[in-house]
Amino acid sequence: MGKCYPEKMYATGAVGQTHFGASENGDMIEEGFIDDYMMPNLTAYNETCANLCNAMFSFRMLGIHGQAKYADIIELVMHNSGLSGISVEGKDYFYANPLRMLHNTRDYNAHADVTETPDREGYLACFCCPPNLVRTISNLSGWAYSLADNGVHVNLYGSNNLTTTMLDGSAIKLTQDTEYPWKGLVKLTVESCKSDAFDIALRVPEWATGATITINGEDAGVKATPATYAVLHRNWKAGDVIVIDIPMEATFIEGHQRIEEVRNQVAIKRGPVVYCIETPDLPDDVSVLDVYVKGDSELAVDYQPDFLGGTAIITADTYLRSREQGAMYTAVKKPDWQETRTKFVPYYAWSNRGTAEMTVFVPVVWK
Ligand SMILES: [Zn+2]
């Protein structure tokens, strides 16, 4: 098992920490990678194309090495920093995908060929990301399975039908039924296959603890270890049913202690989906910067079929802090907290309800 999160990758699978940097020759460049663990939220570039490239590169590495950690990155990008590049309606786009957005804090027109926008736009001056994203979504079914020496690897979960030819020339048909990522129950039915024994290998996501696998209702006898493929070897026949049941717990995540930009902050993740808060869900006079989350809060999950294209929202106990816009540094007074509960929405679905400010990481309070 290897590390799933390289030291320059965001919790959303995004890459490309800065808009500006310098080459080894000292020449000015746009779209830069900087030091490990240096992960700005507000000023991150995270171009949609760069995030998709992270998934594309991972698919090729998966083809070479067959390691689940690469499929984990594909899943992470496609549920978060790739998908955030397009609106729920499919008409408006982001070029940059920072993890925090505050308006009127940066001059978006300060440089030529501006690529960062505070709202999704129907047309981007540098129009690479929109077609790149829609073609990648269209091709994603081609990444769902891989062929191995004597079997099929299931890389990605989502309802589909597989009809393909294995490497020995034999035909196989599988059906996958699931409501993933909102539910972690995945049912695979063998529709037809060869009579000789072969492998069906299921990816166990790196975040999945307590997953179980059954075949025709009985324990498959294979441990579902996170960030590996669980290999099921047998003589399969039409009608065989494999079920992998992955608990979808909403959890707080924190960054490595060396990431200064998220120290004492947490984000919410459920399965592969990273959440954020945005201003349409806050009282009018509250900034996303003034929301603190209670560290031991219950995280309530509610699937809402008519909200943002059908999505699970999460609510958590929060404290709102009223604070005057201060000087650069001021003496600290004990905050006058307002206790409430705040809605978190999937990061990919932010900026679909008009102009909004947003943050993925939120300061945490333990009382
Ligand atoms: Zn692009």
**pLDDT at 2 > cutoff 50:** no
Q: What local confidence, expressed as pLDDT, does residue 1 receive?
A: 33
Distance 115 CA to ligand 1 centre (A): 9
Quickly state the pLDDT bin for 3 (edges 50, 70, 90).
Answer: low
Rounded CA separation 367/364 (Å): 10
Environment of ion ligand 1 (residues, CB < 5 A):
49, 128-129
Q: Which domains does the chain have, with CATH numbers?
A: 18-140 (no CATH), 144-245 (2.60.40.1180), 250-365 (no CATH)
pLDDT tens column, 89-140: 999 999 999 999 998 776 655 655 555 677 888 888 778 999 999 999 999 9
What's the CA-to-centroid distance between 24 and ligand 1, angstroms?
A: 23
Q: What is the Å distance from ligand 1's center to 11 Cα?
A: 20
Query: Among 6-15, 108-117, 192-201, which stretch is predicted with the lowest mean pLDDT?
Result: 108-117
Mean pLDDT of the chain: 93
What distance in Å separates the CA atoms of residue 56 and residue 274, rounded to the nearest whole number? 20
Distance, in Å, from the CA atom of 208 to the CA atom of 185, rounded to the nearest integer, reads 12
Burial of 164 from C-beta contacts in 10 A (0-12 / 13-18 / 19+): exposed
- In 3-state terms the chain splits into helix, strand, coil percentages (rounded to 5) of 15, 35, 50
pLDDT digits 0-9 by tens, 50-85: 999 999 999 999 999 999 999 999 999 999 999 999
Centre of ligand 1 from the C-alpha of residue 46, in Å = 10
Distance 162 CA to ligand 1 centre (A): 31
